[in-house]
Homo-oligomer: A and B are copies of this chain.
């Protein structure tokens, strides 16, 4: 749920029209080979959404590229970069060496099925001057750098090699796994011993490894709908078939899951469903576990932000409800501490530990020992709890300001969901705009919210309503108030 980067350069402040900037950017990418012949372009709607411009802008850009012979539309299958390009200057950009002796071959046939599936833009640009309510990160400005710096200095001063060398244990630093097992037992009621913990490089690696270890091409994997974009993309890129399961105010509808056959795995966010914010009720948790046992399926529980709960104690993890639950539990320090730490963890049933461990070694040998040692010290010295308390207070304040601001401007036209916990909320507005229009108007007014992600084949519109996701954790009080006014102007005028 991180912020992604620029794939196409453009500047909304520029006097050059957006469609023209987009056209220039695509043309340059085609000419310099970044978008190779045969590459499929994203659908206009998808691109508009992902880069934050109106669909009309994208359509104008595509039409111009089509007219000039850079791209071609193939009926029923989409728009592609042309094999024969209109310019002679195809490789005219000066090379640091001599000119090529042989023409550059078309390398795209080299891609595996996975390679073909990931030959796509996945990133969103950031645009200056806009209030970012789509960033799901923590506010790192409030991270206790001084404590962290002191822990680093303490370790750096020692003569030992352990901070810099290969890991003694590729499963993760033993001190970290011990501290984490205690923390997870206390804070999340997870049932595990340290030997079930595998340290990984953030929750995206947890999802990716789990999908590879459990899913063959063509296997069916269920996930919440709406759900987490990168999980859906991970599953489809590996050739799995995603089965979307609806979500209501009590979390994933287990009764709907029960209607499907041959589901090998289900991906869920039970503590705080992403992005509706619903907490899975205890009866549904039990039904989900019973379903998994009866159907020989495994559950991947992504517990990404449940520590931030504002009204009551955090819900215990699904994993800990029953001993030997068929659950692979995943967590991350990206939201708790800071994302560039790149540390997360899996809690794995003992029988399945070995393949996860080996898969991690083959994926990237190990996660950084440097960060693991500092993190272990941070946990052992008790800094996590005080940091969490401070951040909970900060986020709760921002949350309540955002709720108040939205209610001030929209009154009964807005309903807030999922703000009991986490770092974002879902706001439903009563309006005749479509979600696309609403999102674009907000964007044009200077507020970038997040959108709902629907797995392939699933989508749902509520007539007369639009839903937008507000990730407020990094946004100051003042910006939240400005955002409220901008949204009111965008939706109510």
Interface residues of A (CB under 8 A from B): 2-6, 32-36, 39, 95-102, 104-116, 118-123, 126, 135, 137, 140-141, 143, 145, 148-149, 152-153, 156, 159, 161, 163-171, 185, 191, 193, 195, 200-202, 204-205, 208, 212-216, 219, 230, 233-234, 237, 264-265, 293, 296, 298, 320, 322-324, 326, 334, 338-342, 349-355, 357-359, 361-371
A97 to B169, alpha carbons, bound, how many Å? 28
Pick the contact of A338: B5, B95, B164, B361 (CB < 8 A).
B164
Point out the residue from B107, B112, B114, B350 that lies within 8 Å of A32, measured CB to CB.
Answer: B350
> A-side binding surface: helix, strand, loop or mixed?
loop
Contact: B358 with A5, CB < 8 Å? no
Top 3 closest A-B pairs, CB basis?
A140-B164, A340-B369, A115-B213
19 contacts between A and B (CB under 8 A): A4-B170, A34-B354, A96-B193, A101-B322, A102-B322, A108-B351, A111-B214, A112-B212, A113-B216, A114-B213, A118-B359, A119-B355, A122-B358, A135-B166, A149-B152, A152-B152, A166-B334, A201-B364, A370-B371
Question: What B residues does A349 contact at CB under 8 A?
Answer: 104, 107
Given known pairs A112-B213, A137-B166, A165-B338, the reply for A204 and B362 (CB within 8 Å) is yes
Q: Are B170 and A141 in touch, CB under 8 angstroms?
A: no
Q: How far is the CA of A15 from the CA of B411 in the complex (A)?
A: 78
Are the C-beta atoms of A340 and B167 separated by less than 8 Å?
yes
CA–CA, A338 to B156, complex, Å?
13
Nearest chain B CB to A23's CB is how many angstroms away?
19
Selected contact of A2 from candidates B342, B362, B365, CB within 8 Å: B365
Contact B166 A3 (CB under 8 A): yes
Question: Across the interface, do B213 and A97 meet the contact criterion of CB distance under 8 Å?
Answer: no
Quick one: closest B residue to A39, CB to CB?
B354
Kindly state the separation between the CA atoms of A462 and B159 in the bound complex, as whole angstroms. Answer: 43
Which residues of chain B are within 8 angstroms of A219 by Cβ–Cβ distance?
112
In this complex, the member of A108, A114, A237, A352 whose beta carbon has the largest number of chain B beta carbons within 10 angstroms is A114
User: Given the complex, which residues of B lie within 8 Å of A367, measured CB to CB?
Assistant: 342
For A368, the chain B residues whose CB sits under 8 A away are 340-342, 368, 371
CA–CA, A215 to B112, complex, Å?
5
Q: Which residues of B contact A39 (CB under 8 A)?
A: 354
Contacts of A34 in B (CB 8 A): 195, 350-351, 353-354
Give the distance in Å from the alpha carbon of A122 to the alpha carbon of B355 in the complex. Answer: 10
Q: Which residues of B contact A137 (CB under 8 A)?
A: 165-166
A165 with B339, Cβ < 8 A, contacts A114-B359, A350-B32 known: yes
> Are the CB atoms of A2 and B166 closer together than 8 Å?
yes
Asked if A362 contacts B118 (CB within 8 A), the reply is yes
Provide the bound-state CA to CA distance between A162 and B156, in Å.
22
**Does the CB pair B126–A351 fall under 8 Å?**
no
For A123, give its contact among B36, B126, B361 (CB under 8 Å): B361
User: Which of chain B's residues have a CB closer than 8 A to the CB of A5?
Assistant: 167-171
The answer to whether B355 touches A323 (Cβ under 8 A) is no
Complex-state Cα separation, A349 to B5, whole angstroms: 20
Question: By the criterion CB–CB under 8 Å, are A340 and B115 in contact?
Answer: no
Query: Do the beta carbons of B102 and A324 come within 8 Å of each other?
Result: yes
Among B32, B96, B126, B354, the residue within 8 A (CB) of A185 is: B96
Q: A4-B170, A119-B354, A365-B2 are in contact. Are A105 and B326 (CB under 8 A)?
A: yes
* Chain B min CB distance to A430 (Å): 33
Give chain B residues whose Cβ lies under 8 Å from the Cβ of A366. Answer: 2, 342
Question: In the complex, what distance in Å separates the CA atom of A363 from the CA atom of B202?
Answer: 10
For the complex, what is the distance from the CA of A141 to the CA of B159, rounded to whole Å?
8
A453 to chain B, nearest CB (A): 14
Closest residue of chain B to A206, judged by CB?
Answer: B364
The residue on B at minimum CB distance from A119 is B355
Residues on B with C-beta less than 8 A from A200 are 364
Residues of B close to A357: CB separation below 8 A = 122
* A350 nearest CB neighbor, chain B only: B33
**A296 contacts B208, C-beta separation under 8 Å:** no
Task: Name the one of B135, B156, B201, B359 contacting A145, with C-beta atoms under 8 angstroms.
Answer: B156
B364, A208: Cβ atoms under 8 Å?
yes
Q: Which residue of B lies closest to A324 (CB)?
A: B104
Q: How far is the CA of A214 from the CA of B110 in the complex (A)?
A: 6
CB-CB under 8 A from A202, the residues of chain B are 364-365
Chain B contacts of A108 at CB under 8 A? 351-352
Q: Chain B residues near A293 (CB, 8 Å)?
A: 102, 105
